[in-house]
């Protein structure tokens, strides 16, 4: 099969012919229909996350936002059949540890991260372990390109907004960084009844945030004091502020954008510039009784609610997809992410 692989950090991906995968006894093999190109892929391509044990081993096939048709099934699989169209959370889980059993498979003790710790969907075929737990059936009415957006960015934003952020009708939500995750957060927070302020340094991204329902936008390349601007627009600060990027500026701006007893949700992971360590305004957190919470992926148990909202039309991940490309163009998309010139979600749909 064809696969686009990292063979050197930061170097162009290589399009290679590698052996077709075979399913594990509890797993399946998918023929990939669509794969999103995510900023997390960029981090892997750059060799980031060694500070938390997350640097990918080379060579590696990226791709963790996948939709595929089941082509081979292991002998122990009971709930997934050849011909099924499925997606899977990027955090492949065991289904048996205490976190999985309590509905928090997104922090599974035995997690494998698709496209990072095992080969992913920048390929014609991909192997998925523990298929009965990890495969999520896609409704017929949801196109594969749209469904691939759910695999990481949309479902990550859904968990951040609805569970970790607990966004409620009538509240103000600020979203810092409106790439794929941030745009999804704007849409989902708006659907939850919040008024959204979107913050970015790119006017075209802010225009997309407006299309997704942002009430106000702030250009951080022009605005000298982002927190003050958020405070002014929201009449005292956001109830919930989400950092979807993971830089020193966005983390601190997000925390300082909150009103008293507000909730900061950290979604974006850092890059080499910060290596996982960012100083926080602790006194402001203490005096304002602010809540700081992390948000990783989306529990498997939340997929039925997410998919029902998509099926009802209340959420529309397909509106975030701005471009589709072929497998041999994936490396060009990653390179464009280095200077933040990609908009929305780009999906590989030709293999």
Predicted local distance difference test score (pLDDT) of residue 52: 87
Mean pLDDT to the nearest integer, 312-325: 94
Q: How far apart, in whole angstroms, are the C-alpha atoms of residue 99 and residue 93?
A: 10
What's the pLDDT at 151?
83
**pLDDT tens digits, 319-333:** 999 999 999 999 999
Mean pLDDT, range 285-302, rounded to an integer? 97
DSSP 262: E
Q: Same domain for 20 and 59?
A: yes
d(CA 68, CA 137): 10
CATH code of the domain covering residue 161: 3.40.50.720
Q: Is the pLDDT of residue 69 over 90?
A: yes
Q: What is the mean pLDDT of the chain?
A: 96
Q: What is the pLDDT of residue 248?
A: 97
Q: What is the mean pLDDT of residues 257-275?
A: 95
Burial class (CB in 10 A: 0-12, 13-18, 19+), 22: exposed
53 pLDDT above the threshold of 90 = no
Strands 65-73 and 60-61: unpaired
Q: So what's the pLDDT on residue 250?
A: 97
- Which tens digits make up the pLDDT trace of 199-254? 999 999 999 999 999 999 999 999 999 999 999 999 999 999 999 999 999 999 99
Q: Are residues 163 and 235 in the same domain?
A: yes
Same domain? 268 vs 191: yes
For the segment 253-261, the average pLDDT, to the nearest whole number, is: 98
DSSP class of residue 161 equals I
In the chain, the percentage of residues whose pLDDT exceeds 70 is: 100
Tally the domains of the chain: 2
CB neighbours of 55 closer than 8 A, spacing ≥ 6?
Answer: 47, 48, 49
147 with 7, same domain: the answer is yes
Query: Hey, how many other C-beta atoms are within 10 angstroms of the C-beta on 311?
Result: 12
58 and 126 share a domain? yes
Tell me: do 268 and 340 sit in the same domain.
Answer: no
Kindly tell me if the per-residue pLDDT of 54 is higher than 90.
Answer: no
**How large is the average pLDDT for residues 182-187?**
98
Give the pLDDT mean for 169-184: 97
Q: Is residue 208 packed enough to be buried (19+ CB in 10 Å), middle (13-18) or exposed (0-12)?
A: buried
Same domain, 164 and 277: yes
Enter the tokens of residue 230: 């958020």
Residue carrying the six token digits 């989306």: 298
Strands (E), the chain: 2-6, 14-17, 28-37, 60-61, 65-73, 85-87, 91-92, 112-113, 125-128, 136-137, 172-176, 195-200, 216-219, 238-243, 258-266, 291-294, 321-326, 345-350
Residues 166 and 252 in one domain: yes
* Residue 129 pLDDT > 90: yes
- Is the pLDDT confidence value at 272 over 90? no
Q: ω into residue 217 within 30 of 0, thus cis?
A: no
221 and 272 belong to one structural domain: yes
Examine the fold and report which residue of 272, 294, 316 is the final residue of a domain before the chain moves on. Answer: 294
Q: How confident is the model at residue 286 (pLDDT cuts 50, 70, 90)?
A: very high
The pLDDT confidence band at residue 279, using thresholds 50, 70 and 90, is: very high
Closest listed residue to residue 70, CA positions, set 55, 58, 82: 82
Could you tell me which residues come within 8 angstroms of residue 200 by beta carbon, excluding any fewer than 6 positions away? 176, 177, 178, 182, 206, 209, 217, 218, 219, 220
Q: Which two tokens stand for residue 204?
A: 């075209």
Q: Are residues 253 and 312 in the same domain?
A: no
Residue 149 pLDDT > 90:
no
From 2-6, 129-133, 344-348, the region with the lowest mean pLDDT: 344-348
**Residues 158 and 148 occupy one common structural domain:** no
CA-to-CA dists, residue 79 to 32, 74, 120, 283, angstroms: 19, 11, 22, 51
- CB-count burial class (<10 Å; 0-12, 13-18, 19+) for 221: exposed
Residues 51 and 22 in one domain: yes
Residues, the chain: 351
Residues spanned by the domain of 16: 2-152+298-350
Report the CATH number at residue 60: 3.90.180.10
């Amino acid at each position: 099969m064809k696969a686009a692989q990292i063979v050197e950090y930061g170097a162009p991906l290589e399009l290679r012919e590698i052996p077709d995968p075979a399913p594990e006894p509890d797993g399946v093999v998918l023929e990939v229909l669509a794969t999103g190109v995510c900023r997390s892929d960029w981090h892997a391509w750059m060799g980031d996350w060694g500070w938390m044990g997350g640097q990918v081993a080379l060579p590696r096939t990226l791709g963790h936002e996948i939709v595929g048709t089941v082509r081979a099934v292991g002998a122990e699989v009971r709930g997934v059949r050849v011909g099924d169209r499925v997606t899977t959370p990027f955090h492949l889980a065991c289904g048996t540890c205490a976190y999985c059993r309590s509905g928090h498979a997104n922090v599974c003790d035995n997690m494998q991260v698709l496209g990072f710790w095992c080969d992913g969907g920048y390929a014609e075929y991909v192997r998925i372990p523990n298929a009965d737990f990890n495969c999520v059936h896609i409704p017929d009415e949801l196109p594969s390109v749209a469904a691939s957006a759910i695999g990481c960015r949309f479902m990550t934003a859904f968990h951040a907004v609805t569970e970790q952020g607990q966004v409620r009708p009538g509240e103000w939500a600020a979203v810092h960084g409106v790439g794929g995750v941030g745009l999804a957060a704007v849409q989902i927070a708006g659907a939850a009844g919040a008024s959204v302020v979107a913050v970015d340094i790119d006017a075209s991204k802010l225009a997309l945030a407006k299309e997704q329902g942002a009430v106000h936008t702030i250009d951080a390349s022009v605005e000298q004091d982002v927190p003050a601007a958020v405070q002014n627009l929201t009449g005292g600060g956001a109830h919930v502020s989400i950092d979807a990027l993971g830089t020193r500026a966005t983390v601190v701006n997000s925390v300082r954008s909150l009103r008293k007893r507000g909730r900061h949700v950290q979604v974006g992971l850092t890059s080499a510039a910060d290596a996982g360590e960012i100083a926080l305004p602790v006194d402001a957190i203490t005096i304002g009784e602010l809540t700081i919470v992390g948000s990783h992926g989306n529990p498997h148990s939340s997929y039925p609610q997410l998919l029902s909202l998509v099926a009802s039309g209340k959420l529309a991940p397909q509106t975030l997809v701005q471009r589709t490309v072929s497998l041999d163009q994936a490396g060009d998309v990653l390179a464009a992410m280095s200077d933040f010139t990609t908009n929305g979600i780009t999906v590989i749909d030709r293999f």
